[in-house]
C-alpha cells in the first residue's frame, strides 16, 4: 500500500474537519444563531476556560517531544501567545478572562473551575495526555483543527456582536487574535505533517489524531449542553 499523495492526504485532513469540527455541534449552531441564554453563554465560557488553561500545558508537552531546535523555535510561539510574557504580559489566557468578565463571570468563578463539567475535564485531560504520550507527529497533527478555526472565529465575532448585544465587545479580543494566530499556527504545522507523514501508517495516525482532537472539542460542547441546555 503506497502512502496517499500529499494533495490527497491534505484532502483527507480537511475532510475530518468537514465531518467532525465542532462548528456543526447543536450547541455551537445555537450560539451562532443567537439562541443561547446568558447562563448558557456563561456556562460555555467557563467550560471552555478549562481547555484554554491547558493549551500551554499540552503545547509544552509537544515542545519537549519535538525532534529538533528549529521546530522548537517555531512551536514555542504558541505558548508565548497563550501565556503572554513576563515583560509585556498579555496572552490568550488573559483575553479569555476578559471575555469571561464581558459575559458576567468573575475571575474567581473561572479560577475556581466550579462550573467545569466532568465531561469537559475528561476530554481536556485526555488531550493533554495525548500530547504527553504520543510521538510528535500525530501530536502536531492533532493541532490542525486550526485549519478550520479562522473562519469559525470570524463568524463567531460577527454572531456574538449581532446576537448578544449585552456582551461587551471589548471582551472579544481573544477571537480577533485567533483569526490571525490560528492561520499562522496551521501554516507552520501543516507542512511538518504533510512532509513528516511518509507512509500510510503515519498518515493514518495523523488522521486519527485530528479526529481525536475534533472529538475533544465536541465532547466539551456535549458536556456544556448537557449541563446548561439550549435556549430558554
Sites of contact with a second copy (CB under 8 A)? 56-61, 63-64, 69, 72-74, 76-77, 79-80, 83-86, 91, 93, 132
Nearer CB in complex with a second copy: 81/203: 81
Nearer CB in complex with a second copy: 111/170: 111
Nearer CB in complex with a second copy: 7/70: 70
Minimum Å gap between C-beta 197 and a second copy is 23
Residues 166, 157, 126, 211: is their CA dihedral positive or negative? Answer: positive
Total Cβ atoms within 10 A of residue 201: 11
Minimum Å gap between C-beta 22 and a second copy is 24
Nearer CB in complex with a second copy: 59/202: 59
Minimum Å gap between C-beta 66 and a second copy is 8
Minimum Å gap between C-beta 54 and a second copy is 10
CB-CB contact of 218 with 51 (8 Å): no
Q: Tell me the C-alpha distance between 193 and 178, whole Å.
A: 21
The set of cell numbers assigned to 47 is: 467550560
135 phi and psi, to 5 degrees?
A: -60, 155
Nearer CB in complex with a second copy: 76/109: 76
Identify the H or E element spanning 94. Answer: helix 92-102
Would you state the torsion angle of the CA atoms of residues 10, 11, 15, 21, taken in this order, to the nearest 10 degrees? 40
Residue 78 makes CB contacts below 8 A (sequence gap 6+) with 55, 56, 59, 185
Minimum Å gap between C-beta 129 and a second copy is 11
CA-closest candidate to residue 36, choices 164, 172, 227 = 164
Q: Tell me the C-alpha distance between 107 and 105, whole Å.
A: 7
Nearer CB in complex with a second copy: 40/81: 81
Minimum Å gap between C-beta 49 and a second copy is 13
Amino acid at each position: 500500500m503506497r502512502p496517499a499523495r500529499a494533495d490527497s492526504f491534505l484532502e483527507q485532513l480537511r475532510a475530518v474537519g468537514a465531518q467532525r469540527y465542532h462548528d456543526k455541534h447543536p450547541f455551537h449552531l445555537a450560539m451562532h444563531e443567537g439562541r443561547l441564554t446568558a447562563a448558557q453563554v456563561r456556562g460555555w465560557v467557563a467550560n471552555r476556560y478549562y481547555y484554554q488553561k491547558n493549551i500551554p500545558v499540552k503545547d509544552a508537552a509537544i515542545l519537549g517531544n519535538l525532534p529538533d531546535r528549529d521546530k522548537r523555535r517555531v512551536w514555542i510561539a504558541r505558548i508565548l501567545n497563550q501565556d503572554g510574557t513576563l515583560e509585556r504580559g498579555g496572552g490568550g489566557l488573559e483575553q479569555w478572562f476578559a471575555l469571561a468578565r464581558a459575559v458576567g463571570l468573575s475571575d474567581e468563578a473561572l479560577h475556581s473551575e466550579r462550573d467545569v463539567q466532568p465531561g469537559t475535564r475528561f476530554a481536556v485531560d485526555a488531550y493533554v495526555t495525548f500530547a504527553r504520550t504520543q510521538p510528535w507527529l500525530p501530536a502536531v497533527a492533532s493541532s490542525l483543527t486550526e485549519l478550520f478555526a479562522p473562519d469559525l472565529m470570524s463568524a463567531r465575532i460577527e454572531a456574538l456582536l449581532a446576537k448578544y448585544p449585552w456582551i461587551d465587545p471589548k471582551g472579544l479580543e481573544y477571537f480577533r487574535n485567533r483569526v490571525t494566530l490560528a492561520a499562522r499556527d496551521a501554516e507552520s504545522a501543516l507542512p511538518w505533517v504533510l512532509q513528516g507523514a511518509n507512509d500510510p501508517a503515519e498518515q493514518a495516525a495523523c488522521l486519527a489524531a485530528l479526529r481525536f482532537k475534533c472529538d475533544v472539542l465536541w465532547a466539551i460542547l456535549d458536556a456544556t449542553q448537557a449541563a446548561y441546555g439550549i435556549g430558554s
